[in-house]
């Protein structure tokens, strides 16, 4: 009998199932079947986040007989994350487990890549109106035997006579619309002209309002702004998780995925393009009247043939709905870090990950939406922000065109903390940039109970210095633990913005010392040795009965080291850049990104993340990357600024700077700088400050 | 029982068969099954060329029971072409016959759209070397920590430093190749740069030779030239019938097809694009070693698994083969008349066919090959020649950039006779153009036995003035009738270049009179009344036993009128333009197109096709349209000339000129001008000239 080349897989609790090729691992199968499993390390078997449980038994309904023996052999790396009891119960790392036969795979809650809460709303920023795409309406005479001029030349002549637009050309797709639109409008026509040179859309008659989108493609989150291009109004902000997350949480994992997977680059690119199309659709749908349930028809709910209640449009009274279609979007700008930029554009990102990290291209690009597969107006040119360097990308350029340090006298330090830290220092005289390997710890990844900013994540914490008792708050729930029943918390882990809070409180309350080590003077039963690894010490933040995962949520000595490494890298970066610039103090620190929005500034200062600065001059500038994409959408001069920035900000590779390692070791200590911050007195108890 | 919605169709003698939807006509079915049936009128039921015979009987092998009753009802229009006896035998017009059930359809030889013999070889013309696409090779330094410049900027800097190329940008598809090609060549790279601005292809290392194609899209024939862009050498000339011929032989039929058929424009465009791709492939294949049959393997032919002899490459000894792939073609230029231009570009051609005939666009267009679906180098820009007017298109611009009357002191008249006559008159001071509705008669269409220039077509003829006996020559056979057995001739009809010969000989020999009427003084039994229509008189050119169609090939009084109309239109056009220009005589007449190559100049003068000109100044300039596409391929300055021409040649609509009808009536007489041509004496017998 011939052996089957495929195996049937069921994922629980989602119930997704299907046939996959034998020989692939469970992560790959989860991708193919649309199940999200956390893979922070990009299947390198080092993060231990993708634990799953193989169930034994016959699942007749699906013709599946699942058995531990259907999973490939146990791997050395799994020992680190799966204790013998768990192994006995069928636990495996999904990335280390080859599929050799039918399997039913249970994905525990903590291994599921949950929906993220995104907080990337549009900020009020000043933008000058000078978009790349502008509208011009003209009324023309119709052709005669005496004047049989062609349609395009007739329109171009009208636009030249009336608006001084010279040497216009027209995209082929728009040209195809011309003969019928010009007659439909009875020789009155409105043209969308890109950069005063190319006609990219036509409407019969005269219209005034038109629409564009600015999109920030983050490693984790993609945020899009729908704008009225005439009024500059932000009509809607929509966002989603970057669908590439399933190929690895951070930039390097995705580059690795590309290098190890034939067709991987195309797959990741297609996924993000598909994601952008979903965002465009979502933004357009927001301009439609809301659909509501038809309440009744003589007291009875009206149902369709599938027995589903029929939904009807119930527009708000008096409100005018735009009803935009994707083809109404005439301009689109995109920003992202260099790796996201390269992957989206199918540019080989491997050299960005290899010293000396040259990008494939710095300069901005104008690419037809249709070439990219982005389903907006077909003739439109998508503007891709320029890159500064391999690790300082278009997202940083976005931040700079928004904050404009190159026009300021003030010495500014701009910090964008994502998976990587991107730093810019300078003013109108000089600007330097660098990146520092903060790692994902400040975002909550690679920690025992780190997670993304999703419901159930601890985001705020207080530790009583006298009792070491803990109070905390999770995302998705208003009430702190103190005001809740334990089982109401449904805690799952600690998110990025909570990490620094945890560390600051651990230190402030005396649970840990300056060096990061746990204090010998513990006041509660929360401090313990890890049951499975007695050499690892940990502090319990949430007891199992407060969680939805049935386990104590702890922070380990290793976790604390990770955060120390991150903060050390960041601080060292700042300090070495200041040394290069020959300054001792900066006038302003601006923190961009979600981290800046969520973190308490004083806690960051206590932890010594940034150099010396007055607290009131430490500013959070929110999603400046997204704002930057909006700036270049509405003011084309800023596109030139962006290109200027990309070539005139000097990139410094920190790791080859003198004294890098020494500075780094020093910077890992906490609190590094409290003695320099007299205004912080009182925030840190005296006994703590006295510690050696 | 449910009725079948489809019917099985077999075409004979080709044997092609398949299922088609009931309700479509036989022409549509022939298209779907890839059978070529002549449709000169574009299915308007007026040309009678698409006669087919429905067979009765059961064709068990295919499960088809064919019956006359399976064809839709007889149409009024068919009476004109099908006599009662033929009707009885199952003859129908394919375009008038709806399919209502299974049918076996026999396509008689004269209804088959045969393979055309195309004579569009490349002429030696002078072209200055300045192509739009040029190659530049540079050797670069590799990136370091001190110089981590991105790949594109590194290359651009090298090209600027070495060749002064500034502000270069790069097509996205080529950018995607950059990082790996630049490393493959160890930082030496050759770039193809379009118009000094855009990089459209890259090669590792240094290369010198590169390739382009120039294509002339005629209504009937498409001819392509493959050129070495460095040496300007024409490597190959390939051609094919325009695949759109199946939608109608002339421009107006195709415009009508578009207006009457939803999706018709897209279908015609897709067909010609597919045709262009075939030509590109064919030209590339010509650069490969020929494949020859493997003669034997120990005396035995080697066969493959399908029992076909295995073909092997047997390159000529000492010859170096290029082995070009379509992606090696880096530039492509396209010319054609306005309707062909519009249909290829999916621009609505209906207004080109409606007074005052404005085209959608005059100016040249640069369209990405990938947008057009033309499978050459993806990043390449296809150059589309500009149009002068609705009926004087890019093909005429091609002629003008080749002949350059706008740079000459001489007063030139340039005549391009296709289905339409396109005329240009002038010199460096002024140029005017017009088109005249010669109709397809001069190309042999719409005549009783007119056909394209295919094997079996009469192309030369002599008629003895004393006996009215006929001698002739057909395409595809060297020997004249006089030196052949009748059955060797395999005559099928009369082609365009033969028509004028026939008419001149009919007149010279006294078979017809000055007015075009048949003479009363007939000397042979070749003159007769049409058996089916006694009011129609006709002269037998070839007896049935000389033909492959089993019928006498005749020229009718109506045919003669058609040719008179054509020549009258042409002559009137020339004369009215000369009047506009205020001249009585031109210095040179240049005849472009296949017509000019094939027709005997003196015969054209006898017939009064052109105005007064010395015989030695009447020049045939061959396929000047194709040459023009080659000129703009190799000399980009000529692209500017082309655009200048398209807007500075004044188009004159002849039909609204004063005295048009009166001039036209006069010009229909033959011979119109012999008295003005003393040097023609002797060519026309005295007795003929004496006729009133």
B320 versus A469: the higher-pLDDT residue is A469
Task: Kindly report, residue by residue over B55-84, the tens digit of the pLDDT.
Answer: 887 776 667 888 888 999 999 889 888 888
User: A564-568, B5-9, B598-602 — which is least confidently predicted?
Assistant: B598-602
Task: Kindly report, residue by residue over A483-507, the tens digit of the pLDDT.
Answer: 999 999 999 888 877 888 888 889 8
Inter-chain residue contact B172 with A371, CB threshold 8 Å: yes
Average pLDDT over residues A578-592: 92
Cβ(B664)–Cβ(B572) below 8 Å: yes
Inter-chain residue contact B358 with A387, CB threshold 8 Å: no
Tell how strand B211-217 and strand B329-336 pair up: parallel
pLDDT for the residue numbered B684: 52
pLDDT for the residue numbered A115: 39
Q: pLDDT-derived band of residue A460, with 50, 70 and 90 as boundaries? A: confident
Tell whether the model's pLDDT for residue B27 goes beyond 60. Answer: yes
Average pLDDT over residues A46-64: 80
Q: Which residues lie below 8 Å from residue A65, measured CB to CB, with a gap of 6+?
A: A57, A58, A59, A102
Tokens of A168: 């216009």
Inter-chain residue contact A362 with B179, CB threshold 8 Å: no
**C-alpha dist (Å) from residue B428 to A195, B404, B407, B408, B412:** 37, 9, 5, 5, 10
Tokens of B238: 């390939």
Percent of chain A whose pLDDT exceeds 90: 49
- The predicted model scores a pTM of 0.77
User: Closest to A356 (Cβ–Cβ): which among B143, B153, B173?
Assistant: B143
pLDDT for the residue numbered A676: 45
Give A143's contacts in chain B (Cβ within 8 Å).
356, 358
Q: pLDDT-derived band of residue A126, with 50, 70 and 90 as boundaries? A: confident
Inter-chain residue contact B153 with A361, CB threshold 8 Å: yes
**Sign of torsion, CA A366 A367 A370 A374?**
negative
In order, the DSSP letters of A311-332 are: EEE-PPTTPPP----GGGEEEE
CA B272 to chain centre: 12
Cβ(B427)–Cβ(B370) below 8 Å: no
Which is nearest to A344 in space by CA: A254, A239, A265, A258? A265
B325 versus B655: the higher-pLDDT residue is B325
Give A198's contacts in chain B (Cβ within 8 Å).
none
Tell whether the model's pLDDT for residue A156 goes beyond 60. Answer: yes
pLDDT for the residue numbered B587: 94
pLDDT for the residue numbered A532: 82
Average pLDDT over residues A175-202: 97
Q: How far is Cα A686 from Cα A676, in angstroms, rounded to an integer?
A: 15
Average pLDDT over residues A93-116: 80
Residue with tokens 């349209």: B625
Name the residue of chain A whose CA is nearest to B368's CA: A172
Q: Other C-beta atoms within 10 Å of A658: how many?
A: 8
User: Closest to B360 (Cβ–Cβ): which among A179, A358, A362?
Assistant: A179
Tell whether the model's pLDDT for residue A1 goes beyond 70. Answer: no
Task: Kindly report, residue by residue over A294-307, the tens digit of the pLDDT.
Answer: 556 666 777 777 77
CB pairs A-B closer than 8 Å: 128
Q: Give B539's strand partners.
A: B527, B555
Q: Other C-beta atoms within 10 Å of A137: how many?
A: 18
Tell whether the model's pLDDT for residue A74 goes beyond 80. Answer: yes
Tell whether the model's pLDDT for residue A673 goes beyond 80. Answer: no
Rg (CA), chain A: 28
Tokens of A332: 């689109």
Tokens of B552: 């006498």
Enclosing H/E stretch for A488: helix A486-489
Inter-chain residue contact A345 with B153, CB threshold 8 Å: no
Tell whether the model's pLDDT for residue A182 goes beyond 70. Answer: yes
Provide the shortest C-alpha distance from residue A347 to chain B (in Å).
5
pLDDT for the residue numbered A683: 52
Average pLDDT over residues A647-671: 85
pLDDT for the residue numbered B453: 74
The HSE-up count of residue A499 (CA atoms within 13 Å, CB side) is 28
Give B355's contacts in chain A (Cβ within 8 Å).
145
Tell whether the model's pLDDT for residue A691 goes beyond 50. Answer: no
pLDDT for the residue numbered B632: 96
Cβ(A315)–Cβ(A289) below 8 Å: yes
Average pLDDT over residues B283-312: 72
Q: How far is Cα A416 from Cα B685, in angstroms, rounded to an integer?
A: 98
User: Closest to A362 (Cβ–Cβ): which among B153, B370, B389?
Assistant: B153
Tell whether the model's pLDDT for residue A653 goes beyond 50. Answer: yes
Inter-chain residue contact B355 with A145, CB threshold 8 Å: yes
| Averaged pLDDT score across all residues of chain A | 86
pLDDT for the residue numbered A116: 39
Tell whether the model's pLDDT for residue A444 goes beyond 70. Answer: no
User: A336-350, A530-544, A594-608, B104-118 — which is least confidently predicted?
Assistant: B104-118
pLDDT for the residue numbered B55: 84
pLDDT for the residue numbered A296: 61
Task: Kindly report, residue by residue over B456-506, the tens digit of the pLDDT.
Answer: 889 889 899 899 999 999 988 888 999 999 999 999 888 877 888 888 889
Task: State whether residue A631 is helix, strand or coil.
Answer: helix
User: Closest to B148 (Cβ–Cβ): which among A178, A350, A651?
Assistant: A651
Q: What are phi and psi of B165, to 5 degrees?
A: -80, 120
pLDDT for the residue numbered A18: 81
Tokens of B363: 């100016």
Q: Which residues lie below 8 Å from residue B90, measured CB to CB, with a gap of 6+?
A: B53, B54, B55, B56, B68
Tell whether the model's pLDDT for residue A2 goes beyond 60. Answer: no
Average pLDDT over residues B599-610: 76
pLDDT for the residue numbered A119: 37
Tell whether the model's pLDDT for residue A645 goes beyond 50. Answer: yes
Tell whether the model's pLDDT for residue A195 goes beyond 50. Answer: yes
Tell whether the model's pLDDT for residue A677 goes beyond 70. Answer: no
Tell whether the model's pLDDT for residue A61 goes beyond 70. Answer: no
Q: How far is Cα B96 from Cα B51, in angstroms, rounded to an integer?
A: 10
Q: pLDDT-derived band of residue B270, with 50, 70 and 90 as boundaries? A: very high
Q: Which residues lie below 8 Å from residue A285, measured CB to CB, with a gap of 6+?
A: none
B48 versus B7: the higher-pLDDT residue is B7
Inter-chain residue contact A347 with B175, CB threshold 8 Å: yes
Percent of chain B whose pLDDT exceeds 90: 49
**C-alpha dist (Å) from residue B495 to B129, B491, B598:** 39, 11, 11
Task: State whether residue A18 is helix, strand or coil.
Answer: strand
Most confident of A379-388, B545-554, B648-657: A379-388
Inter-chain residue contact A361 with B170, CB threshold 8 Å: yes
pLDDT for the residue numbered B297: 63
pLDDT for the residue numbered B210: 96
Tell whether the model's pLDDT for residue A397 goes beyond 80. Answer: yes
Inter-chain residue contact A347 with B179, CB threshold 8 Å: yes
Tell whether the model's pLDDT for residue A402 goes beyond 60. Answer: yes
Task: Kindly report, residue by residue over B84-141, the tens digit of the pLDDT.
Answer: 888 888 999 999 999 999 998 988 877 776 533 333 445 677 888 999 999 999 999 9
| Averaged pLDDT score across all residues of chain B | 86
């Amino acid at each position: 009998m011939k052996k089957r080349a495929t195996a049937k897989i069921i994922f629980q609790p989602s119930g997704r199932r299907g046939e996959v090729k034998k020989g692939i691992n469970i992560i790959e199968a989860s991708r193919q079947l649309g199940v999200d499993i956390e893979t922070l390390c990009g299947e390198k078997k080092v993060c231990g986040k993708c634990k799953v449980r193989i169930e034994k038994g016959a699942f007749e309904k699906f013709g599946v007989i699942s058995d531990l023996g259907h999973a490939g052999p146990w791997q050395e790396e799994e020992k680190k994350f799966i204790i013998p009891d768990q192994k006995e119960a069928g636990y495996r790392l999904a990335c280390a487990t080859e599929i050799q036969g039918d399997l039913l795979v249970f994905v525990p809650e903590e291994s599921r890549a949950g929906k993220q809460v995104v907080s990337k709303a549009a900020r009020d920023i000043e933008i000058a109106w000078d978009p790349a795409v502008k509208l011009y309406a003209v009324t023309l005479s119709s052709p005669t035997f005496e004047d049989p001029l062609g349609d395009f030349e007739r329109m171009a002549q009208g636009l030249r006579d009336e608006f001084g637009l010279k040497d216009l050309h027209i995209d082929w797709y728009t040209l195809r619309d011309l003969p019928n639109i010009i007659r439909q409008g009875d020789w009155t026509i409105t043209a969308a002209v890109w950069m005063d040179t190319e006609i990219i859309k036509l409407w019969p008659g005269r219209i005034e309002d038109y629409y564009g989108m600015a999109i920030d493609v983050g490693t984790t989150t993609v945020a899009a702004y729908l704008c009225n291009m005439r009024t500059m109004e932000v009509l809607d902000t929509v966002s989603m998780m970057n669908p590439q997350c399933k190929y690895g949480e951070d930039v390097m994992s995705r580059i690795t995925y590309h290098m190890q997977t034939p067709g991987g680059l195309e797959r990741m690119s297609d996924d993000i393009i598909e994601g952008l199309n979903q965002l465009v659709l979502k933004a357009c749908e927001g301009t439609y009247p809301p659909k509501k349930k038809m309440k009744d028809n003589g007291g009875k709910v009206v149902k369709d043939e599938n027995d589903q209640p029929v939904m009807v449009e119930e527009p708000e009274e008096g409100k005018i709905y735009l009803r935009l279609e994707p083809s109404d979007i005439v301009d689109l700008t995109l920003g992202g870090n260099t790796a996201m930029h390269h992957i989206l554009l199918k540019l080989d990102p491997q050299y960005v990950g290899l010293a000396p990290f040259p990008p494939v291209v710095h300069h901005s690009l104008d690419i037809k939406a249709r070439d990219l597969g982005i389903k907006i107006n077909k003739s439109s040119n998508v503007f891709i922000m320029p890159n500064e360097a391999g690790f300082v990308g278009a997202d940083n350029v976005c931040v700079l065109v928004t904050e404009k340090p190159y026009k300021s006298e003030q010495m500014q330090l701009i910090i964008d903390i994502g998976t990587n830290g991107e730093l810019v220092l300078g003013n109108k005289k000089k600007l330097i940039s660098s990146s520092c390997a903060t790692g994902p710890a400040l975002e909550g990844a690679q920690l025992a109970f780190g997670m993304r900013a999703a419901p159930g994540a601890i985001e705020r914490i207080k530790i009583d210095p006298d009792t070491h008792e803990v109070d905390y708050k999770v995302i998705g729930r208003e009430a702190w633990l103190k005001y809740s029943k334990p089982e109401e918390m449904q805690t799952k882990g600690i998110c990025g913005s909570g990490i620094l809070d945890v560390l600051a409180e651990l230190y402030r309350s005396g649970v840990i010392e300056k060096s990061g080590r746990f204090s010998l003077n513990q006041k509660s039963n929360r401090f313990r040795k890890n049951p499975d690894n007695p050499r690892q010490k940990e502090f319990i933040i949430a007891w199992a009965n407060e969680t939805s995962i049935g386990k104590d949520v702890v922070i380990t000595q290793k976790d604390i080291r990770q955060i120390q490494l991150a903060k050390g890298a960041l601080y060292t970066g700042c300090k070495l850049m200041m040394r290069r610039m020959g300054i001792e103090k900066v006038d302003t620190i601006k923190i961009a990104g979600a981290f800046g929005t969520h973190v308490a500034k004083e806690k960051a200062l206590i932890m010594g993340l940034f150099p010396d600065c007055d607290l009131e001059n430490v500013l959070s500038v929110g999603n400046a990357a997204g704002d930057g994409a909006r700036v270049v959408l509405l003011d084309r001069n800023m596109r030139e600024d962006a290109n200027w920035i990309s070539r005139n900000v000097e990139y410094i590779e920190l790791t080859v700077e003198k004294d890098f390692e020494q500075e780094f070791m020093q910077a890992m200590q906490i609190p590094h700088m409290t003695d320099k911050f007299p205004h912080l007195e009182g925030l840190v108890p005296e006994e703590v400050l006295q510690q050696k």
